[in-house]
Amino acid sequence: MFFFFVKDKPKPVEYRIVYDFKEDICLEYGYKYMFTPISKKDSCFSPYIRKISKVNGNKYEGMSLPHDTNSNWTMFGKNLVLTIDDSYDFEQTRRMFELLKHYNITATFFPNTIFINPNNQEHIKLWRDIYASGHEIGYHTTDHTRKKSVVELNTDFISFTQRFREILDDNNFSIKVVRAPYGYFDKVWMQWVKENNLFNVRWSMTESEDSNYLRKLYSENRGVVLLLHNKRSDVELLENNIDEYISIAKENGGKMGSIYDSLTK
């Protein structure tokens, strides 16, 4: 097998391979591409993976947003916003992630850290893959408990953020989008949101409504924010309807994606 190093002329993605040896004579060529037929790849090579920009609170800097989606649903234009609450079922969270990866669609996940085991490498890997794939992670409290005071919310928010910084191994991770457990958007919650300059995201459609309801939302020019949970029935619903959801959004001049990716910028 012969290799030659390429600096200027890019190769098709399927022929891009990254050298993986750490202590080797070719170390000086780290991160350079080598060309060889895919059928003859050796185990010391790994497929080239396109880096995707990670989305966190820092991405919203400079953007003028209200504190609540109720103030202006049109901020999402004609896009269908996909949000996924909770994280109590690891396997269904992974299934949801794999489905979205297949369609190359982003979503905003609103997990609860109480369900994520920091000592379980599968848990850690999944959430790092979610984050690295351009999905957004929002605050939904550590324990999915409603009716917290402002002081309790401040403490819980710090704990949630710190836990995810550890999970993601990213000390720059921050949060802009939030959603109250059970949709309990009371005065205390909204006061806390405003005091911390956060963005409270409601929803206009759940798993209980069908595609006809989605078309109705578009016809009435209302914001389209779909709320799902990481349970088997919701994963199967998305599997069975995602093509139609994408088609309806496209018919109306929009796309399907996370909160950040759906904002009209």
Residue reference for tokens 């649903």: 73
pLDDT values of the chain reduced to their tens digit, one per residue, 265 residues: 544 444 444 444 443 434 333 444 333 333 334 444 444 444 444 444 456 789 999 999 999 999 999 989 999 999 999 999 999 999 999 999 999 999 999 999 999 999 999 999 999 999 999 999 999 999 999 999 999 999 999 999 999 999 999 999 999 999 999 999 999 999 999 999 999 999 999 999 999 999 999 999 999 988 899 999 999 999 999 999 999 999 999 999 999 999 999 998 7
- Ordered by where they begin, the domains of the chain are 5-47 (no CATH), 57-262 (3.20.20.370)
Q: What pLDDT is stored for residue 79 in this prediction?
A: 97
The pLDDT value given to residue 239: 97
Q: Rounded to an integer, what is the distance from CA 30 to the centroid of its chain?
A: 30
pLDDT at position 222 is 85
Question: Which of these, 9, 5, 8, lies nearest to 17 by C-alpha position?
Answer: 5
CA-wise closest residue to 69 among 236, 223, 244, 231: 223
Query: Which secondary-structure segment (H or E) carries 91?
Result: helix 90-103
Burial of 221 (0-12, 13-18, 19+ CB in 10 A): exposed
Would you mind telling me the total number of residues written for the chain in this entry? 265
Quote the crossing angle between the two packed helices 211-219 and 232-251, to the nearest 10°.
40
Q: What is the pLDDT of residue 51?
A: 61
- Beta-bridge mates of residue 257: 81
pTM of the predicted protein model? 0.81
Q: Please, are residues 214 and 203 in contact by the beta-carbon 8 Å criterion?
A: no
Give the integer Cα–Cα distance in Å for 241 and 32: 41
